[in-house]
């Protein structure tokens, strides 16, 4: 169908109603939620772009698989189906299911991370960083500098700067248990990592005998970008690209709530038998027996099907095309967004959008709140609140970028919904000079404060 216009390769079989509300209602609700969008009940949200994690729609084939799920405690057939699918798609030999991505991190890091360790990577996701810092170790961000400028066009802004990596390995010799590369790089704006870059990172790691791990939550979307943007991959299938990418690495943690196309699930896959054995013991204590790891049999079955569906070109073309559609509308309206667009989300650049609110009054959070009040759209702050305080100095950490993420759930919303979102943002953008004051924190947790933080509006 190459000569025809593009259309989604699926149709709708079931619908879920969304409740419209008024601006007055939303002003009241967000105040009652202490200006924390995580505190809103979902019936008070019109379009929910808080996350693309576990919020996608499963296919009829996945639902059919749910019906034949094998709930045996040990040796479940659904587990075997999933294990074989993971082996076939990733090439890794050992596989351990977990209830979600952060559980995979917890189980694997319990074996690998020790007090005082240093874990270099490309803008680690907050749970990854959290699980490392929780073990009194630290991360070093070796992402390329281009990632921190939202207007520079670089096809692979998730890439690792090899020089920064080499320096950090030299400086911390003997203290690095592994390097972790996140694909796509969520914290840098859903930006991909190139095959050339992972090969280079792999060579550096091999020379120093340091394992290379992948945080693979959005590995299929990353493969799509390699196919479309990197020379030599246009005629390769997504599955071939995925297999080659993982072949340069030693293992992965996976949040299957993204490119597994399921609502809950995760896993670890790796080649090192010894690490697998140790991780299995920890998993049995905290997640469940190694053939279910906190998942229902039916969930594992649906995930096996989801992994195959997510690694098909037509699906990815429609998925990433929808995200780009929203991005292009916003660019047309002059709204500052991270470019090129990420795979799973559009990121508003709050440092350029809300210049009038000081950074210590959480300008990205202020913008996210405005999106909710004006249009009932729930997004998420990826800025100073998320960055937490420095664990040693307890001062706010100000990241290079203050972003608001509009994460698009998979196979869930229509292009018309994207048009609605773009119009709301355009309206806010056109009146941006009226924003003066932001918010102050009145209560926060010592780690991952964004989930539970309470805020109050600073009066003008
Ligand atoms: N790694 C990455 C790159 C992620 O984006 C996430 C989750 C995780 C690990 C943790 O996985 O949620 O299954 O425990 N990201 C979600 C998000 C929460 O909204 O971006 P999890």
Note the Cα 48 to chain centre separation in Å: 16
* pLDDT, tens digit (0-9, with 9 covering 90-100), for 60-114: 999 999 999 999 999 999 999 999 999 999 999 999 999 999 999 999 999 999 9
For residue 355, give Cα distances in angstroms to 16, 113, 167, 226, 438. Answer: 38, 40, 35, 35, 11
Active site residue 259: no
Residues with CB under 6 A from ligand 1: 51, 53, 100-102, 125, 127-128, 182, 186, 215, 217, 255, 257, 266
- What's the CA-to-centroid distance between 52 and ligand 1, angstroms? 9
* Mutation test residue for ligand 1: of 141, 186, 221, 380, the one with most atoms within 8 Å of CB: 186
Ligand 1: nearest atom to the Cα of 127: 10
One digit per residue, pLDDT tens: the chain, 460 residues? 567 777 899 999 999 999 999 999 999 999 999 999 999 999 999 999 999 999 999 999 999 999 999 999 999 999 999 999 999 999 999 999 999 999 999 999 999 999 999 999 999 998 999 999 999 999 999 999 999 888 889 999 999 999 999 999 999 999 999 999 999 998 888 999 999 999 999 999 999 999 999 999 999 999 999 999 999 999 999 999 999 999 999 999 999 999 999 999 999 999 999 999 999 999 999 999 999 999 999 999 999 999 999 999 999 999 999 999 999 999 999 999 999 999 999 999 999 999 999 999 999 999 999 999 999 999 999 999 998 888 788 899 998 889 999 999 999 999 999 999 999 999 999 999 998 899 999 999 988 899 999 999 998 7
- Evaluated on CA atoms 33, 390, 117, 445, the torsion sign reads negative
Active site residue 215: yes
- What's the CA-to-centroid distance between 51 and ligand 1, angstroms? 9
Give yes or no for a contact between 346 and 337, defined as CB atoms under 8 angstroms apart.
yes
Cα(38)–Cα(452) distance, rounded to whole angstroms?
Answer: 7
Bridge partners, residue 269, by sequence: 95, 252
Compute φ and ψ for 193, nearest 5 degrees. -115, 135
List, in sequence order, the alpha helices (H) in 266-414. 273-286, 297-310, 313-332, 350-353, 363-375
- What's the CA-to-centroid distance between 217 and ligand 1, angstroms? 7
pTM for this predicted structure? 0.95
User: Which residues have C-beta within 8 Å of that of residue 31, sequence separation ≥ 6?
Assistant: 457
* Mutation test residue for ligand 1: of 104, 221, 258, 287, the one with most atoms within 8 Å of CB: 258
Which of 67, 47, 99 lies closest to 263 in space, CA to CA?
Answer: 99
- What's the CA-to-centroid distance between 25 and ligand 1, angstroms? 31
Bridge partners, residue 443, by sequence: 454
All domains in the chain, ordered by first residue: 23-52+313-457 (3.90.1150.10), 68-310 (3.40.640.10)
Residue whose Cα lies nearest atom 15 of ligand 1: it is 53
Q: What is the DSSP letter of 79?
A: H
Cα(419)–Cα(217) distance, rounded to whole angstroms?
Answer: 27
The interaxial angle of helices 23-32 and 363-375, nearest 10 deg, is: 140
Q: Which residues of 82-113 are buried (b: 16+ CB within 10 A; e: fewer)?
A: bbebbeebbbbebbbbbbbbbbbbbbbbbbbb
Cis check: omega of the bond before 294, within 30 degrees of 0: no
- What's the CA-to-centroid distance between 409 and ligand 1, angstroms? 13
Ligand 1: nearest atom to the Cα of 215: 1
Residue 228, helix vs strand vs coil: helix
Active site residue 217: yes
Active site residue 73: yes
Residue whose Cα lies nearest atom 5 of ligand 1: it is 186
Bridge partners, residue 48, by sequence: 378
* Mutation test residue for ligand 1: of 127, 128, 132, 215, the one with most atoms within 8 Å of CB: 127
Residue whose Cα lies nearest atom 19 of ligand 1: it is 51
Q: What is the DSSP letter of 143?
A: B
Cis check: omega of the bond before 340, within 30 degrees of 0: yes
* pLDDT, tens digit (0-9, with 9 covering 90-100), for 113-159: 999 999 999 999 989 999 999 999 999 999 999 998 888 899 999 99
Report how many helices (DSSP H) and strands (DSSP E) the chain contains, helices first. 15, 14
Quote the Cα angle for 30-31-34, to 5°: 90
């Amino acid at each position: 169908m190459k000569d025809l216009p593009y259309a989604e390769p699926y149709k709708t079989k079931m619908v879920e109603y969304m409740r419209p509300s008024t601006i007055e209602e939303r002003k009241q609700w967000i105040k009652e939620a202490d200006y924390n969008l995580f505190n809103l009940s979902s019936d008070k949200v019109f379009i929910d772009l808080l996350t693309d994690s576990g919020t996608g729609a499963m296919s009829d084939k996945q639902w059919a698989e749910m019906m034949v799920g094998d709930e045996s405690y040990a040796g479940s057939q659904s587990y075997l189906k999933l294990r074989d699918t993971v082996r076939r798609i990733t090439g890794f030999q050992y596989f351990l299911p977990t209830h979600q991505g952060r559980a995979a991190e917890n189980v694997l890091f319990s074996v690998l991370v020790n007090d005082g360790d240093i874990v270099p990577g490309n803008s680690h996701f907050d749970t990854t960083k959290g699980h490392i810092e929780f073990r009194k170790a630290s991360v070093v961000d070796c992402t390329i500098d281009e990632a921190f400028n939202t207007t520079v066009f670089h096809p692979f802004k998730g890439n690792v700067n090899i020089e920064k990596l080499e320096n950090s390995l030299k400086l911390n010799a003997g203290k690095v248990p592994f390097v972790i590369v996140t694909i796509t790089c969520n914290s840098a704006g859903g930006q991909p990592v190139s095959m050339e870059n992972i090969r280079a990172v792999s060579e550096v790691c091999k020379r120093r005998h340091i394992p290379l791990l992948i945080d693979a939550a959005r590995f299929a979307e990353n493969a799509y970008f390699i196919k479309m943007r990197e020379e030599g991959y246009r005629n390769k299938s997504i599955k071939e690209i995925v297999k080659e990418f993982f072949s340069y690495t030693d293992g992965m943690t996976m949040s299957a709530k993204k490119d597994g196309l399921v609502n809950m699930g995760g896993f670890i896959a790796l080649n090192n038998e010894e690490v697998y054995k140790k991780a299995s013991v920890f998993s049995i204590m905290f997640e469940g027996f190694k053939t279910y790891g906190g998942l229902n049999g039916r969930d594992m079955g649906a995930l096996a099907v989801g992994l195959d569906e997510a690694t098909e070109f037509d699906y990815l073309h429609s998925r990433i095309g929808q995200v780009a559609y929203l991005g292009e509308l916003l660019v047309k309206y002059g709204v500052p967004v991270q470019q090129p667009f990420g795979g799973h989300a559009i990121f508003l650049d709050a440092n350029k959008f809300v210049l009038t609110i000081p950074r210590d009054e959480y300008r990205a959070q202020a913008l996210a709140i405005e999106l909710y009040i004006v249009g009932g759209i729930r997004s998420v702050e990826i800025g100073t609140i998320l960055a937490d305080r420095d664990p040693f100095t307890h001062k706010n950490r100000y990241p290079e970028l203050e972003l608001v993420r509009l994460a698009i759930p998979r196979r869930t919303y229509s292009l018309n919904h994207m048009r609605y979102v773009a119009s709301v943002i355009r309206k806010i953008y056109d009146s941006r000079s009226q924003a003066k004051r932001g918010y102050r924190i009145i209560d926060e947790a010592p780690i991952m404060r964004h989930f539970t933080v309470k805020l109050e509006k600073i009066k003008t």
